[in-house]
Each structure stands twice: as C-alpha cells, then as structure tokens.
C-alpha cells in the first residue's frame, strides 16, 4: 500500500518536470530586412486579401508559401532548404496554432486600408523598421481599439468559436477564476444566454447527465488540470465526501442521483437491513447510531430506502412506536395529512 | 436520435448551399465521437458468511468489460439562422455478460432542437434545464422562450428524465409511474453587469406534487472589482428554504482575488414529498467560507479556501456540531499549455469523521504530438493509512493524434479503495472530431 502510494506520487511529480527539449524545425525569418528592402506586407502575405473557403482558420492564407518567397529569393543558395529551415533534413511547416477564432483577415485589411500595423504593430518601435516584428493581437488590444462594445456586451461568439476546449481562464469581464467550476450555478441559472455564447448546450450535459455511460475523466484523459469535480478515485470516497460537504453534492444532484446510481450497481438490494451498516448502527449510544447518520445524510438513506422506508423506518418511527415522533419541530404546519398520501403510512386517515 | 441527425445534416446542406449566396447567418456543425473500452470490475452487494471481513462479506466483484460509445453533435445557424440542434448520446455493450437481456445499455443525455423567429423561440426534446430546483432539471419536454431587450421569459412542460437500471452495462431510460413537471422563469440580464432570474417549477409523481421549488438567482458586478452571486431555493410545498448560497468576489489587485461566501442546505426539503424520508428530522447544514486566489500570470494560479461548518438538527436536544474545511490548490502551466502541473490538498471535518485528500497531477507533450498525463490521489481519515476508508489512486494516460481528426489514448490506473483492496485497470479511448462552418 505504502509502496503504491509512494510510486504514484513519484510518477506524478516526474510528470511535472519539464520535458527535454526536442529539436524541431523552425522557419528562419526576420521582418526587418524585408521591410527595409521596400516590401509591403501584402506582397508576401498575398492570401490575406482573398476570402478563404469554409473551415478556414484565422491564419488561413496569412503565411507566405514557399513559391511566393522564391519569387524574390532566386539565387541557388537562397533556394537551399537550409536557407530558411533550421532543420533542413527534417523540414516542417509553420507551427499550427489554432486559436479557434472567428476572424476574417480580408475584412480587416479592407477596413484598415492595408494598415497591418494598426493591429500587428502595437509593440513595435514606430520610428524604425529596424527591429520591427509584428505581434499577434491580444484580446485586450482588439477590445481597446474596435471591439470595446463587443466585450462590454459580452458578445464572445463574435470572435471566439468555442471556449469550452480551454481551461477556465480569468478574463477581464467574464471571470472564470479559480474555483469557478464549483460556484458557477447561480450565474448559469440567471444568465444562461451568457454561457451559451461560448459553450454549446452539450457542454453542460457532459457533467449534468444523470445517466452518463462513463465518467467524464475517461473521455478527457489529458484534462488532469481541469476543475472536474469528480476526479479519478471520487467514486471510492464519495460516501465520505457526501457526508462532509453536503452542499457541494446538492448543488448539482437531486435526491434521485444517489438512488439511481446505487441501483445500477446492485447496492441496497438483495440483502436484509443492516448488511451495509457498521457496528453500533442500532445502538442509541453509539456514535455510529443510525439516527445520527440519518440526520447527517438523509439523502444517503434515501438512495436505498426510499421505496422500502415504510417497512424499515416506520415500524419504530410512528405514532406509538418505540422510536417516537421522527418529525422536526413545526413539521405539522407545512403538511396536511388529509391531502398527503405519504402521511397515511403512519397516520390514520382523518383530521 | 435519427430525427435529430437527419435534421442537423439537412440543415448543414441547406446552410452550405445558402452560404454560397452570401449575406446569410453562418451555419456551424460540430461533432465528436468517442469509443472507449474499459476493463473495470463491477461491485455488487452480496452476502457470504464465509468471508472474514465485512467488506469481503458484503461486496463481490463481477467481471465487467464494457465498450462505451458516445456521440455529441452541436449544429447552429441552420435554416438561415433559425434552427439549432444538439445531441449527446451514449451506448454501452458489456462484453463479459452473457445474459442477452442485460448486456447492452444506452441513453440520450440531450437531444433537442430549437427554432427561432424574431423574439420567440420554441424547443422540443430532451435537454438539461439549468433553472428550477437546485441542480436544474433533466427533462423530456417542450418549451417556449421570448426575449424583449434585457427581459426574457420562458415556460416548459414535460417529463423528468429518471434513468432506470436493469442491466449490467449501465442506465436505461425509464420512468417511475406517472410523472410530470412544468415551470416558468422570468429573467432580466444586462451582461457583465447584473442578472436576476425568478423561476417556479412543480414536479408531480404518484399523484403528489413532490417538488414545488421557487428559485431566485442573481449575479451582479456593481463595481469593476466586485462580483456578487446568489441563489435562493424555496420549498414552496413545505414553506422553507431548501438551499441558499451567496458569494462575493473582490478583485483586490490585478492578480489577487478575495472571496467570501455562505451556503445553507436543508436536505430533507430536497427529498420529494412522495418519499417518506422527507418527513424525518435531519441536520441543517450551514457553511461560511473565505478564499484567496492569486494568479500572477496565466501560467500560475494558487487558491486557498477555508470554511467553518455547522450541522444542527432543529429542536434536537444535542448541541450543534461544528466542522471545518481547508483546501489549497496550485496550478502551473506553460504558456501553450503543453505542460501542466497541479497540486491540491484538502482537509475536511464534519465533527465526526475527518478526511484528508491530496492530489498531484501533471501533463506534458512530447514532440508536439504525444501527450502524457500522470495523476495520483490519496484520501486518508484520522484512523490512519491502514483504515478501511483510506483510498489511493494513480493513473497514467497517453494520447496521440493519429492524423486528421482522430486521437487515440490509453490509460492505466491502480486503485486501493474501500471497495477494492488493490486493483489495476485499463482503458483504451479513441475520439473523432468534425467541425464545419462558421464565419470564414
């Protein structure tokens, strides 16, 4: 047992170490010399002015092809692979960075009349192109220039395809701060439309699904840093957790959740009462007495005894029974025994 | 399911042909298919007097080898932006069960479509409704929604989804007698500033209105550095508060957030009135919490939270019990999220039985493709590591893209839990994703 624990901790800590560097091909390039030579942006990035097809990303057509480079770089040494590729024996393409954005370069180029620096030059020295390297616009940059109203109105879907694929981020306006997964309920209930801008309805059903075929962690093997509430071994310790943090369970689960799952696994069926209960269950002086446990976690009792409580509980807990009145103070004020059929299990019909 | 798929695919074709004409709302279709094979023992309750310990006497492992498949489809912007459809379904076949009546299972998590025309929209099908009683409602039904500026109103009627379990492989859709639900919601929302929602839902079964939930939910940001969230669920059948929460977050500094909150649960009011257990006296749970979150960069986040809890039985002679909860979590990742590490620890005590949970997990990507994840967790109570309630868990996972939209993953985990003294389990997972549409 101890060895298993130590081994697992060691493995997990090993995972936290940085992996050794792998030599990957890069395209060797600097914007400065090209701009000093009089090139304009759109001479190389010629694909930015034409509408890409369906399924295109924000970068589609943005990066020059090898053929377009070779229109200027005509000398033999410039056509050698090593002129641009850092690993000419294993040349790769541009690194893929799918930012999952809804974005049209052509419309922005038209609106800015070819002024690429408006978006990409925010961190450049405007006095010279000597050190110019275009920057990728940040959300703050977009919002401070043209999309302030979109951000204020939280029209996330105008730019973002789907934020559900990312770890929860703390944004300036929609704050998915640490712990948000456990407290998102009230906001989702009051402002469902806001969530729907970025998250498809099936995103909710990944967790809010009473009949899941397998735990979410089995479908998201790499989501180790995400705020899944039911991680890994949760099933093994959920009984303890349910007693210790009742409000956490009931934020998402109705009373039926315990019942459904226990039935699925055959828990609570086929044996007599007391089988799953610890010693002292029927001893009124024991700290494990069933009355105390029931008050702590009545939903746990309901998971097995909701349908047979009349046989298990009420023989003692009834008018004139050995265990007396089970109701909390003031209980009768909220019930009318004439109209609540469940009252008739113990109480004779009448006023 | 077939109808939803047909609708989505027809919509896709229509939208693509319409897109060629230009100036129409964009259509978007996303699909994901998953298949996983697990070798996980299944435990059932049994009774064997010959076994020595209670666990061995009452628990028995049966072989289980389910093949689980899941399909998810989201289609929006169909039919000139008027229609959207959503589907999430799963099916399982247990390869180790020979009984033909008990080897397969499956269910729809959601399968619904919504049509919009101006401020009105109508939905039909199975969906998760986030409002209503605590936890929301999973319902087969029909609903209508209307929006006018910041105001919105909606109503729905249907049948709550209550899975039934008759087979070894998992849940089957099932309904316990005549059951129905209906409800309505009124809301006002100014995104990013404030939102208020009031809803009322009734749920009937066995001739009894088991749940009558009146809920008030609100969120507000009265100041750029302040956010408030609150929720109040009233049990209108028994007249009382079944659940309440209020949280405040103060963004004290750019990287520092201070939070405070309060929670209240009356579990007996969460049980429907047709359950006789709903009439029993139970502990009322109250919690006050304070948290501190520090995020100096996108790559680092640290959160600590402490809470004091009170468990009291109204009218009982015995004094209320006090408990506490202290938790901390640190998360570090590289800027491209190719490497991530998280460490968390939690100590909880309800005044009867304390528990400590420690978790460590890491993820890194090798060569830009192969991803490896390792995680370990340990839960131990104060009786010591050898206590029957102690559980330990470790898992190693690897995932690799196969080209195109395919990904293949595998996972091995070892566990020691109250149910299994020591166990090794495996899993193979394949997924396929498809995206088409959206604005170019």
Would the CB atoms of A237 and B227 count as touching at under 8 Å?
no
Number of residues that this document lists for chain B: 440
- Chain B positions touching A52 (Cβ under 8 A) are 440
CB < 8 Å to B44, chain A: 265-267
What's the pLDDT score for residue A146?
82
**Which of B353, B209, B214, B358 is closest to B272 using CA atoms?**
B209
A214 vs B contacts (CB less than 8 Å) = 36, 38, 66, 68, 70, 90, 92
pLDDT of residue B44: 57
Residues of A in Cβ contact (< 8 Å) with B399: 221-222
Residue A298 banded pLDDT, cuts 50, 70, 90:
confident
Half-sphere exposure of A257 (CA within 13 A, CB side): 21
| Disruptive mutation site among B191, B304, B343, B352 for chain A (greatest number of A CBs within 10 Å) | B191
Pairing of strands B406-416, B423-437: antiparallel
**Residue whose pair of structure tokens reads 């396929």 in the numeric block:** B432
Interstrand relation of B208-223 and B172-174 (parallel, antiparallel or unpaired): unpaired
Helices (H), ranges, chain A: 2-16, 31-36, 41-44, 66-69, 76-79, 105-111, 117-120, 139-145, 148-152, 180-183, 185-190, 192-196, 201-205, 216-219, 234-244, 246-252, 256-264, 290-296, 298-305, 309-312
Residue A273, min C-alpha distance to chain B (Å): 12
> Which residues are paired to B304 by β-bridges?
B292, B328
A112 half-sphere exposure, CB direction, 13 A CA radius? 19
Pick the residue from chain B with its C-alpha nearest to A53: B440
Highest mean pLDDT among A216-225, A267-276, B103-112, B284-293: B284-293
Q: How far is CA A35 from CA A115, A130, B19, in A?
A: 14, 8, 38
- A208 half-sphere exposure, CB direction, 13 A CA radius: 28
Q: What is the pLDDT of residue A185?
A: 77
Q: What angle do CA B58, A270, B65 make, to 5 degrees?
A: 70
Q: Which two tokens stand for residue B180?
A: 């129905």
pLDDT at B156: 96
Inter-residue contact A44 to A33 (CB < 8 Å): no
Asked whether the beta carbons of residue B90 and residue A256 sit closer than 8 angstroms, the reply is no
User: Which residue would you say has higher pLDDT here, A215 or A265?
Assistant: A215
Instruction: Flag if B268 and A298 touch (Cβ within 8 Å).
Output: yes
Nearest CA in chain B to A20: B366
| Range from A82-91, A255-264, B310-319 carrying the lowest mean pLDDT | A255-264
What is the arithmetic mean of pLDDT over A26-36?
A: 79
Give the separation between CA B282 and CA A317, rounded to whole angstroms. Answer: 14
Substitution target in B26, B35, B146, B277 with the highest count of A β-carbons within 10 Å is B277
- For testing the chain A interface, which of B281, B417, B423 should be mutated: the one with the most A CBs within 10 Å? B281
Q: Kindly calculate the radius of gyration of chain A based on its CA atoms and give it in whole angstroms.
A: 32
Mean of pLDDT over chain A? 68
How far from A218 is each of A215, A249, B220, B381, CA to CA, in Å?
6, 21, 36, 27
> With a cut of 70, which residues of chain B have pLDDT below it?
1-26, 41-64, 97-102, 163-178, 206-207, 274, 316, 388, 418-421, 437-440
Structure tokens at B76: 């929006």
Give the model's confidence band at A246: pLDDT under 50 very low, under 70 low, under 90 confident, else very high.
Answer: low
> What is the rounded distance in angstroms from the CA atom of residue B145 to the CA atom of residue B122?
6
| Least Cα separation, residue A193 to chain B (angstroms) | 9
Q: How confident is the model at residue A164 (pLDDT cuts 50, 70, 90)?
A: low
Please judge whether A271 and B217 are an interchain contact, meaning their C-beta atoms are less than 8 angstroms apart: no
Measured between beta carbons, the chain A residues lying within 8 angstroms of B112 are 201
Nearest CB to B352: which of A205, A266, A287? A287
Put simply, the answer to whether B291 touches A162 (Cβ < 8 Å) is no
Put simply, the answer to whether B350 touches A243 (Cβ < 8 Å) is: yes
pLDDT of amino acid B14:
45
Interface test with B, best of A6, A8, A333 (most B CBs within 10 A): A8
Which among B203, B314, B300 has a CA at the least distance from the CA of B255?
A: B300
Cα distance between residue B268 and residue A306, in whole Å: 12
A327 has pLDDT over 70: yes
A316 pLDDT tier (thresholds 50, 70, 90):
confident
| A276/B337: higher pLDDT | B337
B contacts of A254 (beta carbons < 8 Å): 133-135, 270
User: Which among B263, B301, B438 has the least Cβ separation from residue A247?
Assistant: B263
Measured CA to CA, the distance from residue B437 to residue B76 in angstroms comes to: 9
Does the structure show a pLDDT above 80 at A69? yes
Considering only CA atoms, give the Rg of chain B: 25
Averaged pLDDT for residues A139-154: 75
Chain B's closest residue to A334, CA to CA, is B238
**CB under 8 Å, gap of 24 or more: what pairs does A161-166 form?**
A161/A100, A161/A101, A161/A102, A161/B438, A162/A100, A162/A198, A162/A199, A162/A200, A162/B30, A163/A100, A163/A198, A163/A199, A164/A198, A164/A199, A164/A200, A164/A203, A165/A100, A166/B337
Q: Which of A11, A221, A333 sits opposite B394 (nearest CB)?
A: A11
- Which residue ranges make up each domain of chain A? 25-137, 235-313, 315-351
Give how far B117 is from chain A: nearest CA, Å. 17
**What residues of chain A lie within 8 A of the CB of B342, using their CB?**
224-225
Conformation bin of residue B202: beta by default, left when phi > 0, alpha when psi is -120 to 50: beta
* Between residues B371 and A342, the one the model is more confident about: B371
Kindly report which listed range (A66-75, A203-212, B67-76, B130-139) carries the lowest average pLDDT score.
A203-212
Q: Which residues of B touch A258 (CB under 8 A)?
A: none
Q: Cβ separation of A218 and B38 shorter than 8 Å?
A: yes
Residue A166's closest chain B neighbor by CA? B337
- Cβ B28 vs Cβ B8: under 8 Å: no
**Best to test chain A binding among B62, B86, B127, B135 (most A CBs inside 10 Å):** B135
> Number of Cβ pairs closer than 8 Å across A and B?
477
Give chain A positions within 8 Å (CB) of B90: 212-214
Answer yes or no: is pLDDT of A223 > 50: yes
Provide the pLDDT for residue B186.
Answer: 96
CB-nearest to B419 from A236, A247, A334 is: A236
Mutate to test the interface with A, among B337, B373, B376 (most CBs of A within 10 A): B376
For position A6, what pLDDT does the model report?
A: 57
CA separation for the pair A5, B378 (Å, rounded)? 8
- A213 closest CB neighbour out of B92, B350, B361: B92
Which tops the pLDDT comparison, A160 or B289? B289
Strand partners, B105: B92
For A297, what's the count of Cα atoms within 13 Å in the CB-facing half-sphere? 24
* Cβ–Cβ under 8 Å, residues A193 and A157: no
CB contact under 8 A, A225 and B340: yes
Instruction: Return all residues near A286 (Cβ < 8 A) that are at least 6 apart.
Output: A279, A280
CB contact under 8 A, B163 and A260: yes
CB contact under 8 A, A329 and B314: yes
What percent of chain A lies above the pLDDT cut of 70? 48
Q: Please name the residue of chain A whose CA is at the shortest distance from the CA of residue B93.
A: A213
Q: Measuring CA to CA, which residue among B164, B168, B51, B46 is closest to residue A272?
A: B46
Q: Which of A175, A218, A250 sits opposite B243 (nearest CB)?
A: A250
């Amino acid at each position: 047992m101890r060895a298993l624990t130590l081994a697992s901790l060691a493995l997990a800590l090993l995972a936290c170490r940085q992996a050794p560097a792998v030599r990957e091909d890069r395209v060797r390039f600097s914007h400065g010399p090209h701009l000093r030579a009089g090139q304009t942006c759109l001479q190389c990035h010629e694909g930015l002015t034409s509408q890409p097809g369906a399924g295109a990303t924000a970068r589609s057509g943005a990066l020059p092809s090898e053929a377009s480079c070779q229109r200027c770089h005509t000398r033999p040494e410039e056509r050698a692979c090593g002129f641009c590729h850092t690993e000419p024996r294993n040349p790769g393409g541009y690194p893929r960075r799918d930012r999952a954005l809804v974005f049209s370069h052509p419309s922005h180029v038209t609106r800015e009349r070819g002024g690429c620096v408006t978006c990409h030059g925010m961190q450049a020295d405007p006095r010279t192109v000597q050190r110019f390297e275009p920057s990728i616009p940040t959300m703050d940059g977009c919002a401070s220039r043209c999309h302030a109203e979109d951000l204020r109105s939280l029209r996330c879907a105008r730019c973002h395809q789907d934020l559900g694929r990312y770890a929860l981020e703390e944004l300036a306006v929609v704050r998915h701060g640490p712990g948000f997964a456990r407290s998102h309920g009230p906001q989702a209930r009051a402002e469902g439309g806001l969530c729907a801008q970025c998250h498809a309805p099936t995103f909710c059903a990944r967790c809010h699904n009473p009949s899941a075929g397998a735990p979410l962690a089995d479908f998201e093997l790499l989501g180790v840093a995400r705020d899944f509430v039911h991680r890994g071994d949760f099933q093994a310790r959920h009984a303890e957790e349910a007693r210790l943090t009742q409000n956490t369970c009931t934020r998402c689960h109705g009373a039926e959740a315990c019942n459904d799952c226990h039935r699925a696994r055959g828990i609570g069926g086929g044996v007599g009462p007391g089988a799953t209960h610890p010693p002292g269950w029927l001893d009124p002086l024991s700290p494990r007495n069933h009355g105390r446990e029931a008050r702590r976690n009545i939903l746990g009792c309901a998971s097995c005894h909701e349908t047979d409580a009349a046989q298990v509980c009420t023989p003692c807990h009834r008018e004139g029974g050995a265990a007396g009145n089970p109701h909390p103070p003031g209980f009768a004020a909220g019930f009318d025994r004439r109209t609540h059929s469940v009252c008739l299990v113990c109480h004779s019909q009448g006023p | 399911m077939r109808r939803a798929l047909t609708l989505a695919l027809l919509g896709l074709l229509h939208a693509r042909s319409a897109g060629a004409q230009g100036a129409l709302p964009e259509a978007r279709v996303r699909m994901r298919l998953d298949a996983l094979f697990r070798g996980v023992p299944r435990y059932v309750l049994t009774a064997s007097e010959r076994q020595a310990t209670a666990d061995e006497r009452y628990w028995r492992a049966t072989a289980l080898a389910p093949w689980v498949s899941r399909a998810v489809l989201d289609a929006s912007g169909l039919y000139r932006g008027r229609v959207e459809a959503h589907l999430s379904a799963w099916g399982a076949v247990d390869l180790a069960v020979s009984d033909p009546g008990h080897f397969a299972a499956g269910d729809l998590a959601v399968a619904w479509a919504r049509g919009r025309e101006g401020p009105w929209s109508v939905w039909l099908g199975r969906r998760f409704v986030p409002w209503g009683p605590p936890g929301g409602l999973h319902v087969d039904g029909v609903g209508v929604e209307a929006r006018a500026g910041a105001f919105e109103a909606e109503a729905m009627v249907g049948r709550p989804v209550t899975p039934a379990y008759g087979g070894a492989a998992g849940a089957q859709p099932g309904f316990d007698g005549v059951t129905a639900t209906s409800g309505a919601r009124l809301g006002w929302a100014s995104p990013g500033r404030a939102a208020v929602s009031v809803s009322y839902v009734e749920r009937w079964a066995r001739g009894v209105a088991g749940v009558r939930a009146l809920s008030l939910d609100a969120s507000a940001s009265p100041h750029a550095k302040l956010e408030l969230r609150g929720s109040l669920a009233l049990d209108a059948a028994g007249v009382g508060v079944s659940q309440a929460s209020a949280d405040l977050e103060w963004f004290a500094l750019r990287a520092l957030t201070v939070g405070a909150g309060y929670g209240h649960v009356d579990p007996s009011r969460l049980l429907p009135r047709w359950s006789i257990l709903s009439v029993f006296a139970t502990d009322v749970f109250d919690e006050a919490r304070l948290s501190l979150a520090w995020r100096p960069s996108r790559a680092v986040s640290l959160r600590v939270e402490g809470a004091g809890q009170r468990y009291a039985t109204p009218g009982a002679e015995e004094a209320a019990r006090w408990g506490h909860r202290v938790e901390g979590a640190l998360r570090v990742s590289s800027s491209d999220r190719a490497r991530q590490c998280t460490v968390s620890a939690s100590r909880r005590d309800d005044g009867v039985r304390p528990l400590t949970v420690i978790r460590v997990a890491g993820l890194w990507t090798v060569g830009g493709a192969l991803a490896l994840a390792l995680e370990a967790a340990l839960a131990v109570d104060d009786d010591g590591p050898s206590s029957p309630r102690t559980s330990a868990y470790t898992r190693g996972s690897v995932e690799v893209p196969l080209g195109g939209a395919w990904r293949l993953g595998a996972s091995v985990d070892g566990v020691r839990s109250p149910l299994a003294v020591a166990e090794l389990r495996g899993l193979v997972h394949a997924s396929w994703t498809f995206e088409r549409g959206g604005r170019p």
